[in-house]
Amino acid sequence: MSEAPAVPRPGSADRVHPAGLELLLIPPRARTGWRVLPARVGAMCAVELQKIRHDRTELYTRAVQPALWLLIFGETFTRIKAIPTGGIPYIDYLAPGIIAQSAMFIAIFYGIQIIWERDAGILTKLLVTPTPRSALITGKAFASGLKAVIQAVVVVVIAALLGVGMTWNPLRLLGVAVAVILGSAFFSCLSMTIAGIVLSRDRLMGIGQ
């Protein structure tokens, strides 16, 4: 008895799809084990970077405050010499404090952002995905550190234009960047933790102040 003739495959099966279409037709292999968390953290960091790239108004508006502190308060107190600084200009004292203050302000408002996302339903959609909650927090902490570094660069540039005495040693500047990133990430995580406890923007604002 002869075998049944083979069913001819459609022409589309033999066609080689471009690399972009293969991702749509053939799902990628799922990551397992220890590779899951780093992949999710990287994805959430990329999401936060996309937010910053698409909406840069927050970066510009937040850069105004440290600039005003340096240009107005720093120059004013330096000229009137109301605070004794031992011969060192007052603005030299003020510049590092403004960097720390800017990083802390950015970090504190991430708790408010979590509450906004919860009220809008965005947080609920993220929590039902396979993404670990630690990856969500890490992504937002990464964005907080990045914004703080951008503000620190603005402060350093303005301080240099105003004649603030500082070192240009690359290792020390890198140390400042690392300290700003870690400090901002710590306070953003603390702010989001408090936001998860109080569940209210008004209470969080009071604690933040």
Kindly give the confidence (pLDDT) of every residue in the chain, 209 residues in length, as a single tens digit, with 9 standing for 90 and above.
455 555 555 444 445 555 555 555 665 565 555 667 777 777 777 877 787 777 777 777 777 888 888 888 877 777 777 677 677 777 888 888 888 888 888 888 887 788 887 778 877 787 777 777 788 888 888 888 888 888 888 888 888 888 887 888 889 989 989 999 999 889 888 888 888 777 666 666 666 65
Longest dimension (CA), the chain: 109
**CA nearest neighbour of 176 among 96, 66, 90:** 96
The Cα–Cα gap between 69 and 102 comes to 11
pLDDT of residue 1: 47
pLDDT of residue 5: 52
pLDDT of residue 61: 78
pLDDT of residue 46: 80
The Cα–Cα gap between 84 and 78 comes to 10
pLDDT of residue 13: 47
**CA nearest neighbour of 129 among 191, 185, 47, 54:** 47
pLDDT of residue 171: 92
pLDDT of residue 178: 92
